[in-house]
Amino acid sequence: MRKGLQNLENSENKNYKIIAVDDEEGIIDSLSIFLKRSGYEFTGVTDPEAAIEKVKNEHFDLMVLDFIMTPIHGDQVVEEIRKFNKDLYILLLTGHKDLAPPLETIRRLDIQGYCEKSDKFDQLLLLIESGIKSIKQMNEIKNINRELSDTYEKLESSYLESIQTLRYTVEAKDTYTRGHSDRVSEYSVLIAKHLNLPESDIENLRLGGLFHDIGKIGVPDSILQKDAKLTDDEYSQIKQHPNIGVHILSHAKIFQDILPIVEHHHEKYDGSGYPKKLSGKNIPYLARITAIADSFDAMSSRRSYRDPLSIESIISEFERCKGTQFDPNLDDIFLDILKNHYDSIKEIQEKYT
């Protein structure tokens, strides 16, 4: 029974690779015999600098490392290894406990343990067995986290596909606004690039533009497709779509950063917008950008009751609404795009015609 358990243990140990580094050939030979007998896959190295390269290019689970070596000591070896490998489990061997590195160094370099050299390897084997158990547990945790991450990504992907379907359903309700969200997304990104915003903001604007009107799924078709002027009650229902959108998107982590865009893209700089009548810098910055992109697309798109506005009329409208409907600084940026970089706008429009 005992022999069977030992054979099973040795068989499991083959799954773990150990590297030993010591500039004394005799120590490496002894460790090789000792650890291979215990079933471990073993590699011995006498040159500490060569050991660094070996760890860089191969996978090892655990390192047994001598402290006093030439041309560099063990702590210097660990210093280099930790620059590219944070996971390697390291046990330090010392000729004498007085020669061990300070505790502060051991903690800083994340050295998991050390013991004195001895003709007997019992203490070292116990430390190695303890280390392998820790490695096994950490691997199991990583596998669980990886599986959870894969499951979460699949759920997110499925949820994103469902939301995309809702978005297409919204745009299918009104042929005049087909492609609207795609254009708003790209106009927003265009403005962001002129502002030299970080990639994270650009990505949020891209995603926020795509889904800013998702809440219109909850607005009756009769209102969305109405050619005549909306009644006060109908307009009140339209004004609910930012809140509906937030409700739809708030259940997925991937949409958390774009909720302010979805909720506040109809706020106006002077506080006369909806749903919360925010004003000035109280309106989230990215929502102020999306508001400009959204308004521009509305002006430049054909509607059942009018043709697209001319570029001259659109420029006049943005000049008139500067500081009232739109953030004046962002308005200036967009006016510069309209006047001096209109080709970028036309490329987007042609893409979704």
SS3 content of the chain, % helix, strand, coil (to 5): 65, 10, 30
Alpha-carbon gap, residue 167 to 159, rounded angstroms: 12
* 216 annotated active-site: yes
Catalytic residue from among 86, 216, 226, 276: 216
Give every CB contact of residue 296 below 8 A, 6+ residues apart in sequence: 187, 314, 318, 334
Backbone angles phi, psi at 180, to 5 degrees: -60, -50
Alpha carbon dihedral 270, 272, 274, 280, in 10-degree steps, equals 10
CA-to-CA separations, 225 to 178, 220, 221, in angstroms, rounded: 12, 9, 6
Asked if residues 302 and 310 have their Cβ atoms less than 8 Å apart, the reply is no
Q: Which two tokens stand for residue 128?
A: 């190695």
Residue for token digits 């302010």?
A: 260
Residue for token digits 């390269």?
A: 53
Catalytic residues: 216
